[in-house]
Structure 1
């Protein structure tokens, strides 16, 4: 693999890890307390299940990208020229490609679910007697909004990483014959 592509992949993985960590910490640590009708109410990310799921998925995606970052660093400094020709290397590249796809789609899905729940928190729903949370818990809603923006930035970074994974995988195949490995 080209050394410059490995450096770009490592940089993108580091950025994605940091942004995913920021997302998980922002959501996980944001709380707000308020006295509503003589009742002390504390709101956290656990009150909306989509936000709770987003914290866990962002944390797992950050750990995954951190592990992949260590793989990038390891393969940069300890790569072997014969490694690219083995079946073990090919299966490893396929696994990395598929895992990158799963992680980016899972993160995108949980971010979208969090947006849907956040819209319900902003607008409320009279049919279900759900109150508008953001009228009462403004700081919490701004923190959730910032975390969702960070989550989508992380999705964009991870989507660009899937392009690099696809390049690393499909450069091993011949362009003339469908899914046939290049002979080197």
Structure 2
């Protein structure tokens, strides 16, 4: 059972790593140039919207974190078998890091989605124009990237629950937060 959980965690981390890298690449490499007036050109990039810039950084860091944790799944298979000493401390560290990565990725993706929605709908009260009327290919690619990012966030929430299971199975069910005996 322990090896099955470890394989499932490894698969989910690999899947999440791919989606996070895809999101960062799609957003980071997306650009579209339009001619506004006769000789004036305007280029739309992810740097025009701070939420998209933050999304690229957060998803890149989260992909790197999942790559490091993926190495744990393949090389440290003995971690889940021994509930004593530093393994308990490592389980707590992995639990908190997984929680933090999942929440930060989810928040960054939702912030980018909200900011991108303003680009689609505009806000007439603030005299903000609809940008996606001019840069349709750019907006479609950002929309696809945001969908990948939200799926990756949900996968990371599942990974976080596996991490919680790996932590709390080390403790006794009869006494609150007391380690199980050997």
Work out whether the TM-score is over 0.5: yes
Name the counterpart of 1:164.
Answer: 162
Which of 89, 96, 99 is equivalent to 1:98?
96
Distance 1:8 1:131 in 2: 46
Distance 1:126 1:158 in 2: 37
User: What TM-score does the superposition give when structure 2 sets the normalisation length?
Assistant: 0.96
Structure 1: runs of 5+ lacking an equivalent: none
How far 1:85 moved relative to its partner?
A: 3.8
Name the counterpart of 2:145.
Answer: 147
User: What TM-score does the superposition give when structure 1 sets the normalisation length?
Assistant: 0.95
Distance 1:164 1:85 in 2: 16
Name the counterpart of 1:40.
Answer: 41
Which of 105, 125, 128 is equivalent to 2:126?
128
Total equivalences in the alignment = 181
Name the counterpart of 2:179.
Answer: 181
Name the counterpart of 1:56.
Answer: 57
How far 1:80 moved relative to its partner?
A: 7.2
Name the counterpart of 2:2.
Answer: 2
Distance 2:101 2:122 in 1: 31
RMSD: 1.4
Q: Which runs of 4+ in 1 moved over 2 A?
A: 126-129
Three-state SS of the structure 1 residue aligned to 2:174 is coil
Q: Provide, for residues 108-140 of structure 1, a one-character-per-residue CA deviation record: whole Å limited to 9, x for no partner.
A: 101110111111101112232221110000000
Name the counterpart of 1:114.
Answer: 112
Distance 1:17 1:132 in 2: 33
Distance 1:121 1:170 in 2: 44
Distance 1:80 1:129 in 2: 56
